[in-house]
Amino acid sequence: MTTRAAVIGLDGSAWHLLDPMLEAGIMPRLDALMKRGAHGTLVSTVPTYTPPAWTAAATGVNPGRHGIYGFIGGNAQNEHLELVHSGRIKAPTIWEIANAQGARTGIYNLPLTYPPRRLDGWMVSGMMTPGYGEHLKGFAWPPDLEPQILERAPGYVVDVSANWELDWRNTTLCDRVMASLHQRLVVLEGLLELDPPAILFAVLEAPDRLQHVYLRYMDPDDELYDTGEGRVVRVEVERCFRAMDDIVGLVDDYAGSSGGVIVCSDHGFTAWEVSVHTNALLERWGYLKLKPRARLLQTPAARSLVPLARRALPAKLARRAKGVTFSAVDWSRTTAFASPIPQQGIFVNVAGRERLGWVPPSDLSRIKDDITARFYDLTGPDGRPVTDHVHRSEDVFHGDALDGAPDLLPVLRNHHFELDDEIFHRSPFTDQHHLPRGVHHPDGVVIVAGGGVKAGHPGLRGSVMDVTPTLLHLAGLEVPDDLDGSVLTEAFTPRALEDNPVRMLAPLSSRPKDESSPYSDEEEAVIEESLRGLGYL
């Protein structure tokens, strides 16, 4: 018998940011869930970004199997960088697995669910959906949900826009977040009343947007926390988290006393201290070569025009301008180059794999070793080593969907140093620590509450890939035996696991999907502008 089970995703949430709000009584419903459930840390994917992480949570497998590594497919050599979408997900999803067992499923605001999939239940797509308000179309399944949603929430916004270069100067972002959270509550409440599914997977993007802009005002251990600006901003930020708590309460009430609830995040957050210009490092080390005239742009005056162009140019022109900058690379002599920002990595220019590749595949391992050694020798502006670890693709990605995976993924200074793919920098480092902004960290949050769960149990530790198997188990469904993730059994009492053991299911195949892009050029430009505002492009 299927039991109601729900995920409420708090995108980017971390305990060091939530704990002060729980102690201050700002999120009583979340606090109550934590006290009656098991809680701890949920570790993100490598790379630690929204597309691979939420897709891993919704499939139970690593990016090497689900095939999503960032917001765009390809890298700087591609003539056209295609935005990723739901048709690019290679692995069976939570709704496919649940539907195969007769469980009706509701998916709400989960990133990379556009275009929404046909399913037994309903789906309202999330981040990467084009349009807003009256311009929205094709964002829900079944389609007759769309007019109902727009009637309940006129001007419905799928994804709150934030701009890390501008929004930290005031609190207007908080006003936009509050308006969207009111819409989320009204719409989700209506969906659950209209058609209550057995399985619910809902995500709120609001924590991520706020933390990209105001992180250091939110962290009690940060030097900017107790500043005048920090105190002013925090009042408005806390108002937003109170509104999020209302939605946590809605989901908890939906699951009921006999149901199960998972609260989780796709990653955590930390302070953004330094930008690392990966291509500048690779050029310094001799792996990336620029055409002679391109060096004229490696001046402070020329570099200052790059962020100005991002802000001032129309989205389509800004996108074209970035493509032109990569034309400055001499690909015939370039051995390695930076991945797009959300992939946080490096590609080797391998012949037969990259469009302009020339490096023999037999040299790939040696070049990986050489670049890795360079990173371990790298020192920061303070003269101290900066590299914690360099992941090799074969160590973190496993499966048949490896196209698009970076070869190396360095981790610098516990993620306080963020890698980018900009070209025109002589120095590899730009100081960011005077600003309040934040970047992703792998340590997210998890709470598991429901029948048989250890009440108040701390110290839970798992992977985002554990979300789908644990949700299936809470619902009384079987778990495919080929998933990379597993049920968070530490959350349950031994008696509960004895009475209700984890039941396994033979592997499923994902339904065939249309992998062609669903976006028009105009839609791509608008979505890219939103991603650019978050520093992702």
What is the mean predicted confidence (pLDDT) over 396-415? 95
- Decide if pLDDT at 441 tops 60: yes
Single-letter amino acid, residue 82: E
- Decide if pLDDT at 306 tops 60: no
- Decide if pLDDT at 204 tops 70: yes
What is the spatial distance between Cα 7 and Cα 466, in angstroms, rounded to a whole number? 12
Residue pLDDT, tens place only, 12-40: 999 999 999 999 999 999 999 999 999 99
| Pair 200, 220 in one domain | yes
| Coil, helix or strand at residue 5 | strand
CA within 13 Å, CB half, 317? 8
Residue pLDDT, tens place only, 328-348: 999 999 999 999 999 999 999
| Pair 299, 346 in one domain | yes
What is the mean predicted confidence (pLDDT) over 77-93? 91
What is the spatial distance between Cα 184 and Cα 244, in angstroms, rounded to a whole number? 9
Instruction: With cut-offs at 50, 70 and 90, classify the pLDDT of residue 319.
Output: very low
Instruction: With cut-offs at 50, 70 and 90, classify the pLDDT of residue 515.
Output: confident
299: in domain: yes
84: in domain: no
CA within 13 Å, CB half, 275? 18
| Pair 370, 452 in one domain | no
Chosen domain end from 401, 434, 467: 434
Residue pLDDT, tens place only, 443-499: 999 999 999 999 999 999 999 999 999 999 999 999 999 999 999 999 999 999 999
Give me the pLDDT at residue 1, please.
66
| Pair 289, 367 in one domain | yes
Mean pLDDT computed over every residue of the chain: 92
Instruction: With cut-offs at 50, 70 and 90, classify the pLDDT of residue 281.
Output: very high
527: in domain: no
75: in domain: no
| Pair 58, 105 in one domain | yes
Whether residue 142 is preceded by a cis peptide bond, meaning omega within 30 degrees of 0, is yes
| Pair 429, 377 in one domain | yes
**Residues linked to residue 329 through DSSP beta bridges, in sequence order:** 290
Single-letter amino acid, residue 267: H
What is the CATH classification number for the domain harbouring 179?
A: 3.40.720.10
Write out the two tokens for 489. 């059994």
505: in domain: no
- Decide if pLDDT at 232 tops 60: yes
Burial of 358 (0-12, 13-18, 19+ CB in 10 A): middle
What is the spatial distance between Cα 278 and Cα 419, in angstroms, rounded to a whole number? 6
415: in domain: yes
Taking the CB of residue 220, how many other CB atoms lie within 10 A of it?
A: 12
Structural domain span for residue 299? 274-434
Residue pLDDT, tens place only, 370-389: 999 999 999 999 999 999 99
Write out the two tokens for 488. 């968070």
Instruction: With cut-offs at 50, 70 and 90, classify the pLDDT of residue 522.
Output: confident
Do 509 and 237 meet the contact criterion of CB atoms below 8 Å apart?
no
Domain total in the chain: 2
| Pair 258, 329 in one domain | no
Give me the pLDDT at residue 317, please.
44
Q: What's this model's pTM, rounded to 2 decimal places?
A: 0.94
Give me the pLDDT at residue 318, please.
47
| Coil, helix or strand at residue 193 | helix
Residues sharing a CB contact under 8 Å with residue 14, sequence separation 6 or more, in sequence order = 265, 268, 269, 270, 441, 443, 444, 445
474: in domain: yes
| Pair 241, 102 in one domain | yes
Q: What is the CA radius of gyration of the chain?
A: 23
**Residues linked to residue 338 through DSSP beta bridges, in sequence order:** 346
| Pair 313, 266 in one domain | no
Task: Indicate the helix (H) or strand (E) that contains 471.
Answer: helix 467-474
Residue pLDDT, tens place only, 90-146: 999 999 999 999 999 999 999 999 999 999 999 999 999 998 766 788 999 999 999
Instruction: With cut-offs at 50, 70 and 90, classify the pLDDT of residue 295.
Output: low
Do 337 and 346 meet the contact criterion of CB atoms below 8 Å apart?
yes
Question: Percentage of the chain surpassing pLDDT 90?
Answer: 82
| Coil, helix or strand at residue 429 | strand
What is the spatial distance between Cα 475 and Cα 1, in angstroms, rounded to a whole number? 8
Chosen domain end from 416, 434, 452: 434
What is the mean predicted confidence (pLDDT) over 417-437? 93
Give me the pLDDT at residue 300, please.
55
What is the mean predicted confidence (pLDDT) over 353-374? 97
Give me the pLDDT at residue 324, please.
60
Question: Percentage of the chain surpassing pLDDT 70?
Answer: 93
- Decide if pLDDT at 245 tops 50: yes
Give me the pLDDT at residue 308, please.
44
Chosen domain end from 434, 466, 495: 434
| Pair 323, 248 in one domain | no
| Pair 204, 309 in one domain | no
Q: What angle do CA 203, 474, 510 make, to 5 degrees?
A: 65
495: in domain: no
What is the spatial distance between Cα 206 and Cα 238, in angstroms, rounded to a whole number? 12
Write out the two tokens for 46. 């490598």
Distance of CA 87 to the CA centre of its chain: 18
What is the mean predicted confidence (pLDDT) over 159-186? 95
Lowest mean pLDDT across 91-105, 244-258, 523-537: 523-537
Residue pLDDT, tens place only, 40-59: 999 999 999 999 999 999 99
- Decide if pLDDT at 509 tops 90: no
Give me the pLDDT at residue 310, please.
45
Instruction: With cut-offs at 50, 70 and 90, classify the pLDDT of residue 322.
Output: low
| Pair 211, 310 in one domain | no
Taking the CB of residue 422, how many other CB atoms lie within 10 A of it?
A: 18
